[in-house]
Amino acid sequence: MFEARLALLEKFRPDIINNLVLLWWRDDLCQPTDFYLAVAHAPSLTKDALKAGLLAGRLKYRGGGLTGRLELTAEGRYLVRRMLRRMGAEVAA
């Protein structure tokens, strides 16, 4: 079941995984990062990653935007590592 869910994400939502790769590029995949989205109601791959369970954390509404500290879940780290390996990039952590 785990592999099937991840395969679906890789096939139909590679944009989410690519966004996570960009957010954690050359960083420790186990470390959280601060996130800010200027327009709270705008579509966001990061919000989609939260919904898909690839990110953990909480975004709070502040001044028309969203802000919060997010970290990769085990599934998120796994998919980011796989994408980085496919790209031939060095994986941190």
Tokens of 80: 């980011």
pLDDT of residue 83 exceeding 60: yes
Q: How far is CA 85 from the centre of its chain?
A: 16
pLDDT in tens, 17-29: 999 999 888 789 9
Residue 92 lies in a domain: no
Number of domains composing the chain: 1
Note the pTM of the prediction, 2 decimals.
0.85
Q: By the 8 A CB rule, do 40 and 67 touch?
A: no
pLDDT in tens, 29-75: 999 999 998 888 889 999 999 999 999 999 999 888 999 999 999 99
Look at residues 58, 55, 57 and name the one whose alpha carbon lies nearest to residue 80: 55
How confident is the model at residue 16, as a pLDDT? 96
Residue 93 lies in a domain: no
Residue 10 lies in a domain: yes
- Host domain of residue 32: 2-87
pLDDT category, 1, cuts 50, 70, 90? low
Residue 64 lies in a domain: yes
| Domain harbouring 83, CATH code | 1.10.10
